[in-house]
Amino acid sequence: MSFEGKRCYFDIAATTPLDNDVVNKMSDTMQRIFGNPSSIHSFGQESKIVLEKARKQIATAIHCRTSEVCFTSCGSESNNMVLKGILKKGDHFITGSIEHPSILKTADFLQNKGVEITLIQPDKFGTISISKIEESIKDNTKLISIMSANNELGTINPIKEIGDLAKQNSILFHTDAVQSFGKVPFNASELLCDFISIGAHKIYGPRGAGALIIKAGNNLFPLIHGGGQESNLRAGTENIIDTAGFGKASEIAVNNLEKNIQTIKYLSAHFLKGLDENKIEYRINGTNQLPGIFNITFFGVNANDLVINLDMEGIAISAGSACSAGVVKPSSTLTEIGMTPELALSTVRISFGKLNTTEEIDYFIPKLSDIILRLKSS
Amino acid sequence: MKKGKVLVAMSGGVDSSVALLKILELGYKAVGVTMKLWEYDDVGGNILSDTNCCSIESVTKAKMVCDQMGIPHYTLDFTDIFKKDVVNNFIEEYLSGRTPNPCVRCNSHLKWDALLEQAKKLNADYISTGHYARIELVNGEYFLKKGVDPKKDQSYVLWGISENTLEKTIFPLGGLTKSEVRAIAKKHNLESANTPESQDICFVPDNNYSRFLNDTIPKEMKNIQGGDIIENEKVVGTHSGYTNYTIGQRKGLGLSNPEPRYVRKINSTENTIEVGKKDSLFSNLCKVTEVNWLVNHPELPRNAEVHIRYNSPGAEAEISGSLTEVLVTFAEPQLAITPGQSAVFYDGDIVLGGGVIV
């Protein structure tokens, strides 16, 4: 549909628009570079250089070696790759019960293949406790996977401590850092992670580009067999354009990290002030969240109705996790942290990013207030 | 004149798409919604082979049509209530030996109420669907009338909606024929112009009720055994399980008589099927319950044209009894009056009301 009038995008945690510099980088690559990076000739070499420059940008941004960056198509692929590439029948796997579906559904799949699974339930804020993981460790525990920050709540997990625990017990440790990479300081060299999943589209890069950081000394089976690309770990002719964008986006995100965090904190405070001034009743869920992610319960209001009404006003927020047909069910993340289905169905996620403005929030708050009042009275 | 906003129920088919087009032509604002009622893989089907309404393909088509017309589209989840109110009832009715009409039940117990509630929440004034039926205002009273296309008229499945919802409902296709609707869709190059006709019950897209029941309630179906076929109180054959039969059925009885036999009664508690010659299937009486009236002051007894199945000609009858349960006395005996189906009462084109045949 074509929307006339003002539009505000407050769903940064779902995906981000492209940064202008990323657009320029991709556009330039798209127009000039097309060779197959595996080719010997100059066309191939040009492509290879684009790919390796992007790899270097990402390695610098996350503090790892370039040889540790394996490009994939998305965070979900990176997550699948670790689980399916490591776990065999008879192995034990520990993960959280509010991980991304690309972990949970893969765990289900592997359970049917004979992998033993333990799901750790988070506390009421969405944090995974180290002691719960420690209690679950068995002789055959092969891998622990805990997300760096939860995509719905924004809650940040104690990844460093979990990595230490895994190392003490000689267990491999993976973290899904798709939501946190580029939004808070993330230093792979200080963390004892064996594998880290990241993606481009949460940091103003393109959709369709991700990476798995595989710390030196670790090995795993590829998900996609074929040519020898990505050190035999991920076959398929490389996606030069999106990868170039991913590299640029990582560089920009990390170079501007503190500035962006300050901007988003300012916007967040402005938003909360607006809610209070308009006497809107709400509760924020989670704790120690990523900047700008608000998981909010508006009591007595159906989240889906709120999202649709706001959308008709040009304002984008999110309810639960989007699925293919656009149907919204109570979020299992929220029920796992002990919320009743009723409250979960009254909960939305509003997420701000570096491109949002206080003017947008000033446009948003009265509309939000009006719609909540109308929905409560109907 | 400032017109209101209309919530248009979009299935992704050609009818609801043209309904939306007409709503916009009439000068209303519109928002498209698709009611997600049913997941085919809930009953062991393959989600990728599902092309009926509620499939991802249909929802996407509805979205594309809304995009073509520049209006927003949302998918609303009604799977839980649909399962509880429509699908489970369909199963219970079959297990009781009746032949239910789930479309009627869906319209009266789910669709209208849910759509009107949603309309209110989205600040819309009216709801609209692609049904072939008309609503007319005469002397301050709203009447539900047949669609002008006799082959497509769908007023039969609408008898159960509340009378007070008529003023909030718009049927833009009531004055059109199906071929006109197809022509409009083609002329405007609508995404859904070539969508095939959906005739079957939406949640049994292969039209195979035995398969549906076996997949959905395997335990209960295991308990349904073969039993006796009875004619004039004598056992004349064996049936394969009473859920495999419907009233009026001739084929598949495994009887060899010079004159064909038909199913005239299904007795689920005794696990028997009663058969008879064609003339034994005629009756001029039927009892109708759960009656809903769509006119303000129905006075009984009265004469009406009564339809006892979808897309069949009506028959002259007298309706008597109370306002919720009536006795229909036909002028001429009717063939195979089927318990579970709807009896709908008409005065010319006007739907007076209807109910479920006992």
Residue-wise pLDDT tens digits, B249-268: 998 888 888 889 999 999 99
Residue B292, beta-bridge partner list? B354
Residues 6 or more apart whose CB falls under 8 angstroms from that of A135 comprise none
Query: For residue A209, which phi and psi values (nearest 5 degrees)?
Result: -135, 125
Q: Which of B56, B67, B79 sits opposite A1 (nearest CB)?
A: B67
Which residue of A lies nearest to B61 if distances are taken between CA atoms? A325
Interface test with B, best of A7, A301, A305 (most B CBs within 10 A): A305
Query: For residue B141, which phi and psi values (nearest 5 degrees)?
Result: -120, 135
CA distance B115 to B128: 9
pLDDT score of A148: 98
From residue A17, how far is each of A21, A77, A206 by CA, in Å?
A: 12, 21, 8
Interface test with A, best of B40, B77, B120, B125 (most A CBs within 10 A): B77
**Burial track B219-258 (b if 16+ CB lie within 10 A, e otherwise):** eebeebeebbbbbeeeebbebbbbbebbbbbeeebeeeee
H or E segment to which residue B82 belongs: helix B79-82
Could B31 and A312 be called an inter-chain contact, meaning their C-beta atoms sit closer than 8 Å? yes
The end-to-end CA distance of chain A, in Å, is: 28
H or E segment to which residue A211 belongs: strand A210-214
pLDDT score of B343: 97
Q: Which of B36, B67, B72 sits opposite A325 (nearest CB)?
A: B36
Q: Given its phi and psi angles, is residue A94 left (phi above 0), alpha (psi -120 to 50 degrees) or beta? A: beta
Residue in this structure with the two tokens 């306002």, named with its chain if needed: B323
Which residue of A lies nearest to B56 if distances are taken between CA atoms? A325
Pick from A133, A137, A214: nearest CA to A169? A137
The dihedral sign for the CA sequence A276, A281, A283, A289 = negative
User: Which residue is catalytic, options B53, B54, B66, B202?
Assistant: B202
CA distance A120 to B287: 59
A302 Cα to chain B: minimum distance (Å): 10
CA distance B4 to B29: 6
Assigned fold of B282-357: Elongation Factor Tu (Ef-tu); domain 3 (2.40.30)
Considering the entire predicted model, what is its pTM?
Answer: 0.88
pLDDT score of B45: 53
Q: What is the DSSP letter of A147?
A: -
Pick from B51, B53, B55: nearest CA to B17? B53
Interface test with B, best of A1, A7, A346, A374 (most B CBs within 10 A): A1
Please list every residue in chain B whose beta carbon sits closer than 8 Å to the beta carbon of residue A303. Answer: none
Neighbouring CB atoms inside 10 A of A110's CB total: 20
Please list every residue in chain A whose beta carbon sits closer than 8 Å to the beta carbon of residue B74. Answer: 308, 311, 326
Beta carbons of B60 and B12 less than 8 angstroms apart: yes
Pick from A143, A115, A144: nearest CA to A130? A144
Could A325 and B73 be called an inter-chain contact, meaning their C-beta atoms sit closer than 8 Å? no
pLDDT at B28 over 60: yes
Could B75 and A375 be called an inter-chain contact, meaning their C-beta atoms sit closer than 8 Å? no
Could B70 and A302 be called an inter-chain contact, meaning their C-beta atoms sit closer than 8 Å? no
Pairing of strands B315-321, B73-77: unpaired
Alpha helices per DSSP H over chain A? 20-32, 42-62, 75-86, 101-112, 130-136, 159-168, 229-232, 240-255, 257-277, 303-312, 332-336, 341-344, 358-377
pLDDT score of A323: 46
Residues 6 or more apart whose CB falls under 8 angstroms from that of A188 comprise A62, A63, A64, A68, A196, A213, A215
H or E segment to which residue B118 belongs: helix B112-121
A90: helix, coil or strand?
coil
Q: Which of B66, B75, B79 sits opposite A1 (nearest CB)?
A: B66
CA distance A27 to A316: 27
For chain B, give the percent of residues with pLDDT over 90: 69
Could A327 and B79 be called an inter-chain contact, meaning their C-beta atoms sit closer than 8 Å? yes
* Order of strands, sheet of B126-128, starting from the edge strand that comes earlier in the sequence: B73-77, B29-36, B5-9, B126-128, B169-170
Pairing of strands A315-316, A8-9: parallel
Interface test with B, best of A327, A331, A372, A378 (most B CBs within 10 A): A327
Pairing of strands B169-170, B227-231: unpaired
Could B123 and A309 be called an inter-chain contact, meaning their C-beta atoms sit closer than 8 Å? yes
The dihedral sign for the CA sequence A274, A279, A281, A284 = positive
CA distance A378 to B120: 7
Which residue of B lies nearest to A374 if distances are taken between CA atoms? B121
pLDDT at B47 over 60: no
Query: For residue A143, which phi and psi values (nearest 5 degrees)?
Result: -145, 140
A150 Cα to chain B: minimum distance (Å): 25
Please list every residue in chain A whose beta carbon sits closer than 8 Å to the beta carbon of residue B73. Answer: 1
pLDDT score of B40: 62
H or E segment to which residue A117 belongs: strand A116-120
pLDDT score of A193: 96
CA distance A37 to A314: 43
CA distance B106 to A370: 33
Q: What is the pLDDT of residues B318-336, one digit of tens each?
A: 999 998 999 999 999 999 9
B64 Cα to chain A: minimum distance (Å): 9
Please list every residue in chain A whose beta carbon sits closer than 8 Å to the beta carbon of residue B123. Answer: 309, 374
pLDDT score of A206: 98
Q: What is the pLDDT of residues A2-33, one digit of tens each?
A: 556 789 999 999 999 999 999 999 999 999 99
Could B75 and A324 be called an inter-chain contact, meaning their C-beta atoms sit closer than 8 Å? no
CATH 3.40.50.2000 matches B5-187: no
Among this protein's residues, is B103 annotated catalytic? no
Which residue of A lies nearest to B64 if distances are taken between CA atoms? A1
B32 Cα to chain A: minimum distance (Å): 11
The half-sphere exposure of A13 on its side-chain side, counting CA atoms within 13 A, is 30
pLDDT-based confidence at A326, cuts 50/70/90? low
User: Which residue is catalytic, options B53, B66, B103, B106?
Assistant: B106
pLDDT at B19 over 70: yes
Our CA angle for B31, B35, B41, nearest 5°, is: 145
Q: Concatenate the DSSP letters of all residues of B210-278 into one string.
A: HHHHHHH-HHHHHT---EEEEETTEEEEEES-GGG--TT--TT-----SS--EEEEEETTTTEEEEE-G
CA distance A15 to A33: 27
Query: What number is the average pLDDT over the span B150-171?
Result: 95
Describe chain A by its helix, strand, coil percentages, rounded to 5: 40, 15, 45
B207 Cα to chain A: minimum distance (Å): 24
Residue in this structure with the two tokens 């044209």, named with its chain if needed: B305
pLDDT score of A325: 44
Strand ranges (DSSP E) for chain B? 5-9, 29-36, 73-77, 126-128, 133-138, 141-146, 169-170, 227-231, 234-239, 262-267, 272-276, 282-293, 302-307, 315-321, 326-335, 342-347, 350-357
pLDDT score of B50: 52
User: Can you give the residue ranges of every domain in chain B?
Assistant: 5-187, 225-276, 282-357
Query: What number is the average pLDDT over the span B119-131?
Result: 95
Which residue of B lies nearest to A375 if distances are taken between CA atoms? B121
Lowest mean pLDDT among A86-90, A275-279, A301-305, B209-213: B209-213
Interface test with A, best of B34, B68, B74, B123 (most A CBs within 10 A): B74
Residues 6 or more apart whose CB falls under 8 angstroms from that of B144 comprise B133, B134, B135, B155, B158, B161, B166, B294, B350, B351
Pairing of strands B342-347, B302-307: antiparallel
Compute CA B181 distance to the chain's CA centroid, rounded to the nearest angstrom. Answer: 20
Q: Which of B74, B79, B122 sits opposite A326 (nearest CB)?
A: B74
The half-sphere exposure of B6 on its side-chain side, counting CA atoms within 13 A, is 28
Could B120 and A378 be called an inter-chain contact, meaning their C-beta atoms sit closer than 8 Å? yes
User: Which residue is catalytic, options A8, A64, A193, A323?
Assistant: A323
Interface confidence: ipTM more than 0.85: no
Q: What is the CATH number of domain B225-276?
A: 2.30.30.280
Could A305 and B121 be called an inter-chain contact, meaning their C-beta atoms sit closer than 8 Å? yes
Query: For residue A56, which phi and psi values (nearest 5 degrees)?
Result: -65, -40
Q: What is the pLDDT of residues A341-374, one digit of tens each?
A: 899 999 999 999 999 999 999 999 999 999 999 9
Among this protein's residues, is B202 annotated catalytic? yes
Beta carbons of A53 and A250 less than 8 angstroms apart: no
Could B76 and A304 be called an inter-chain contact, meaning their C-beta atoms sit closer than 8 Å? yes
Residue in this structure with the two tokens 């580009």, named with its chain if needed: A209
From residue A362, how far is each of A270, A291, B222 by CA, in Å?
A: 9, 19, 63
Instruction: Provide long-range contacts, Cβ within 8 A and 24+ apart, for B232-238.
Output: B232/B276, B236/B261, B236/B275, B237/B275
**Residue-averaged pLDDT of chain A:** 95
Residue ranges of chain A whose CB lies within 8 Å of a chain B CB: 1-2, 302, 304-305, 308-309, 311-312, 324-329, 374-375, 378
